[in-house]
Structure 1
Amino acid sequence: MPRLAGALALALSAAACTAGDFGRPRPGVWNDVIVPSAGLWSATARGETVSPFRMTDDEEQLRDRAWRFVMPAHERSFFERQVSDFAHSRVLPVEAQSSTASDYFHALTGGSYRSQASRYNRLAEDANADRLLIGPFRANAGRVVAADRVRMRAVDASPQVPPEQRDPAFARVVENEGLILWVCERVNFRIESYRYALANLVVEMPSREAIRAERSIMALEAEAGPLCKLDLIGAFRGGAKPAPADKPVVYKG
């Protein structure tokens, strides 16, 4: 355990030194080679599904778009952001992330603001920014799911696909669906965090600005609904795996 804690501390320090604009990982050997390799090794060691397939453009973009939603909503949550960044790269399991709704409120109120209106405005702006980015992510996810349906139908139907391609294909579908479900979970967590912050701001510093913040959160909830109802194949939830090569089946859906 001490070794693990030390390794994590070293990794977090290195990540902190390589943070780019808005906290995003800056391109380089550490973020483009070392961390992804460590992520695949760690995920495999934990028994998670890992595919060796190269990613499509849409799959790459899906992971890029997911980054915002799996990060803590406030940049002052430094340690939590680093943990989430490593969860995004699969170095750490997603369970390592904080699920404490009060984190955002404490980060929001921890800095110096001119007035309570600034805090309410920041809350409304964060919720609005999330809302505007959910649509593009949902569209991206829809393209990935559609391509995965084609992928699995080809696996089932084509005798030219060798057996060793079947499991990696299914593993990629599991990875894609797992990411979409994770983003849905973290978006709902953001909404919970925003509502916690709004309620406690009203108690501590009542202001008419709370109305705008409330409307922003409601709009985010409305936009998040369709994402969490996206029609997936069901692989991540334990759906059908590819049949043996001599017993092809057609995937439903």
Structure 2
Amino acid sequence: MRFVALVLMAGLAAACVSRPVGDFGRAQPGVLHDRAMPYIGSKVAANRGEPVSNFNQTDQEREMHDRTWRFLVAAHSRDWMFDTNAELQRTRIGPAKDHRYGPERYYAWLRSTHYQSSPTRYNSVGRHILADIDTLPTTFRAICAVEEVDRQRRIALAELPGIEASVAANAQARFVENRWHIDWFVRALNYRYQSYAYALDHLLVETPHEQSMAVDENLRRLGPWVDRANRGDFCSGLTGGGGGAVVTIPSRYQTMMPDREVIPQK
């Protein structure tokens, strides 16, 4: 009964208090979100039969969690990315729900947000894409560092015969936890890319404007990062191209007649 009460209290806390973020969307430390909720979540996850490690976090693991957080939620559009559900998923109090999100939510948020002129919506999409691109190099670097930590753990386990079975199981559980978090980031990055593309397509039908070409260019710059994430390539070069020459595919929007109408400000 006490366990159930703790879970309910943690759920209510997550619903009332979003995880605080600082510069560039990085998570800020706090007792509720970094200690209390993860502790309860570990008990819930173990009750579900999931692997749970009680290893202390390395600096690299903490950095990865902080860097990836901005991609798992969207502070500019809470109704789009479900920041409460993301916090329950992160702390493992609730099951993963990000698989259920549809790309239409971002466009719905854009449509419901009041702008004085229709091109401003294109500008918003373009800014959001650029913000992702700007923070992806450090995020990939943080993930790469965690993959190296896991590699070193495996080597240590193989070369140190005196390690207890419980410690080896703990290391394996931490490897799974890290892999699950990286997979979540990859899904989130794909979801953002699909949401931006969906919004751009529908804005072109609803309010055609030449600003779409700049947004499409930003989207094509984001594409190589998405491709690298889907390949699990977080360590080879941090320019977004993944090495080699980058072929620019002609945009499907470049042949459209631009709308040069000037919309007066209200």
Secondary structure of 1:128 counterpart: helix
Taking structure 2 as the reference length, the TM-score comes to 0.77
**CA shift for structure 1 position 73:** 7.0
Which consecutive unaligned segments of at least 5 residues does structure 1 have? 233-253
How far residue 176 of structure 1 moved from its aligned partner, in angstroms, is 1.0
C-alpha distance in 2, partners of 1:198/1:175?
A: 35
Q: Write out per-residue CA displacement over residues 25-81 of structure 1, whole angstroms, 9 at most, x where no aligned residue.
A: 664432232211122122222222211100100000111111111114742417812
User: Equivalents in 1 of 2:111, 2:89: separation in Å?
Assistant: 26
Q: Distance in 1 between matches of 2:48 and 2:206?
A: 44
Matched, 1:108 2:145: no
Map 1:97-246 onto structure 2 (within 5 A): 98-230=100-232
- AA paired with 1:193? S
8 Å Cα contact 1:80-1:97 kept in structure 2: no
Unaligned runs of 5+ in 2: 235-266
Residues 219 and 200 of structure 1: CA distance in aligned 2, closer, same or farther (over 3 Å): same
> Which of 23, 44, 47 does residue 46 from structure 2 map onto?
44
In structure 1, how many angstroms separate the alpha carbons of the residues matched to 2:177 and 2:157? 17
CA RMSD after TM alignment: 2.7
2:33 equivalent in structure 1: 31
Look up the equivalent residue of 2:128 and give its one-letter code. Answer: D
TM-score (norm 1): 0.80
Question: Conserved in 2, the CA contact under 8 Å of 1:102 and 1:196?
Answer: yes
Count matched residues. 229
2: distance between equivalents of 1:20 and 1:131? Answer: 18
Q: Is the 8 A contact 1:49 1:174 kept in 2?
A: yes
Q: Given the superposition, is the C-alpha separation of residues 119 and 231 from structure 1 closer, same or farther in structure 2, using an over 3 Å criterion?
A: closer
1:40 and 1:91 in contact (8 A); partners too: yes
Q: Is the 8 A contact 2:53 2:173 kept in 1?
A: yes
- Partner SS, residue 113 of structure 1: coil
1:134–1:224 CA contact under 8 A, matched in 2: no
- Which SS does the other structure have where 1:100 is aligned? coil
Which of 87, 90, 93 aligns to 1:91? It is 93
Cα shift at 1:160? 2.8
- Residue in 1 aligned with 2:247? none
Partner AA of 2:188 in structure 1: R
Read off the aligned partner of 1:41 and give its amino acid letter: K
Distance 1:114 1:182 in 2: 36
Bigger drift between 202-211 and 125-134 goes to: 125-134
Q: Distance in 2 between matches of 1:222 and 1:73?
A: 24
Distance in 1 (alpha carbons) for counterparts of 2:111 and 2:150: 43
Q: Distance in 2 between matches of 1:110 and 1:71?
A: 19
SS at match of 2:163: coil
Counterpart residue type for residue 200 of structure 2: L
